[in-house]
Amino acid sequence: MTKAEKTYLKARQNLLKEKINNDEDPCGDIKGQEHSKRAVLVAAASEMPNLLIAPPSHGKSMLAAAAARLDVVAIETRPCPCGEYSNPFTACKCEPEQIQKFWTDRANLKMMPIQCEVPPVPARELLSKMTGTTTARQQEQLERMGPKPTNLTEPAKTLLKQATSELGMSARQIADATTVDAGIAALEGSKDIDAQHMAEAIHYRPLRLP
């Protein structure tokens, strides 16, 4: 990241922290969204910023607040000017040119190393009284982290080579993936970066945005 990007992300983190001072469990307040919560945890473990993409009212801001509690910055954005590009329930009203310009103006966001599309939460999860992953649980996982490994197993190397070829990953994306997978492996207490850690890291690679 550039110095300007780091300065912006730090300022954003401080703003989010101010918003959650009175909220003891910003992560636990979020219904469902376990995949998105995992992305936030991985970002904290990897010490990398992440991008949360979703239509309005899908929980992006709450997830960003949960990330700030873990001392990691999450930037939230809608997928297009009207916000409904990826909404399975509401049609997008934007023209292709408008969407293209929207992301051209946000080119720096397109390269963030951990990206996650935040899906709508099913009604049964919104109405459920069950508690998902909490802030305390995430903090506990981070506290139990072992050292970040640097050794890639042969299956991990094979998977990375395959992904590089099939997905057209750039040198920057490869470097980011090998940082993220080390954080994932440390979360799992692994001494090596194995194929499953690499697979999850690649899953968070920059999305093919318009």
**pLDDT, tens only, 46-102:** 999 999 998 888 888 889 988 988 988 899 999 999 999 888 888 999 999 999 999
Residues 7, 63, single domain; the answer is yes
Per-residue pLDDT, 4 = 61
| Domain identity same for 186 and 96 | no
Q: For residue 31, what is the DSSP state? A: -
Residue 208 lies in a domain: no
Average pLDDT, the chain: 87
Predicted confidence at residue 10, as pLDDT, reads 62
Domain boundary among 108, 143, 178: 143
pTM (two decimals): 0.84
Distance in angstroms (rounded) separating the CA atoms of residues 121 and 127: 10
DSSP H helical ranges for 105-190: 123-127, 135-143, 154-167, 171-187
Overall domain count for the chain: 2
Question: 79 lies in a domain?
Answer: yes
Residue 36 included in any domain: yes
pLDDT value of position 153: 98
Contact 141, 133 (CB under 8 A): no
Length of the chain: 210
pLDDT of residue 77: 92
4-8, 85-89, 128-132, 184-188 — most confident range: 184-188
Tell me what the mean pLDDT of segment 174-192 comes to.
Answer: 96
What pLDDT score was predicted for residue 30? 84
Asked if residue 94 and residue 36 are part of one domain, the reply reads: yes
If asked whether residues 111 and 12 sit together in one domain, one would say yes
**Residue 167 sits in the same domain as residue 136:** no
Confidence (pLDDT) at 19? 53
Do 173 and 199 belong to one domain?
yes
User: Region 178-184: what's the mean pLDDT?
Assistant: 96
Domain, as residue range, for 182 = 154-203
Q: Residue 45: name the closest of 144, 126, 154 by CA.
A: 144
Q: Cβ distance 207 to 50 under 8 Å?
A: no
What is the H or E stretch that residue 112 is in? Answer: none
Indicate if 91 and 26 belong to the same structural domain: yes
Same structural domain, 29 and 123: yes
**123: pLDDT confidence band, cut at 50, 70 and 90?**
confident
Rg over CA atoms, the chain: 17
**Of the residues 124, 143, 162, the one at which a domain ends:** 143
Do 96 and 168 belong together in one domain?
no
158 and 97 in one domain? no
Tokens representing residue 90 in the block: 């509401």
Asked, for residue 148, whether it belongs to a domain, the answer is no
Query: Which one is predicted more confidently, 129 or 187?
Result: 187
- What pLDDT is stored for residue 130 in this prediction? 78
In a domain, 64, yes or no: yes
Residue 35, domain member (yes or no): yes
Percentage of the chain beyond pLDDT 70 is: 88
Q: Identify the CA nearest to 198 among candidates 145, 149, 140, 139.
A: 149
User: Cα–Cα distance between 97 and 58 in angstroms, integer?
Assistant: 25
CB atoms within 10 A of CB 136: 12
pLDDT at residue 2 tops 90: no
Q: Which residues are bridge partners to 53 per DSSP?
A: 77, 117
Mean pLDDT value of segment 115-124: 85
Domain assignment present for 149:
no
Q: How do residues 31-50 score in pLDDT, each as one tens digit? A: 888 899 999 999 999 999 99
Nearest to 77 by CA among 97, 105, 48, 46: 105
Decide if 176 is inside a domain. Answer: yes
In this prediction, residues 183-194 reach a mean pLDDT of 97
Stretch (H or E) spanning 80:
none
In 3-state terms, what secondary structure has residue 74? strand
The pLDDT value given to residue 139: 94
- Which residues, 6+ apart, have CB-to-CB distance to 84 below 8 Å? 55, 90, 91, 92, 93
70 and 18 together in one domain: yes
84 and 126 assigned to the same domain: yes
Predicted local distance difference test score (pLDDT) of residue 56: 86
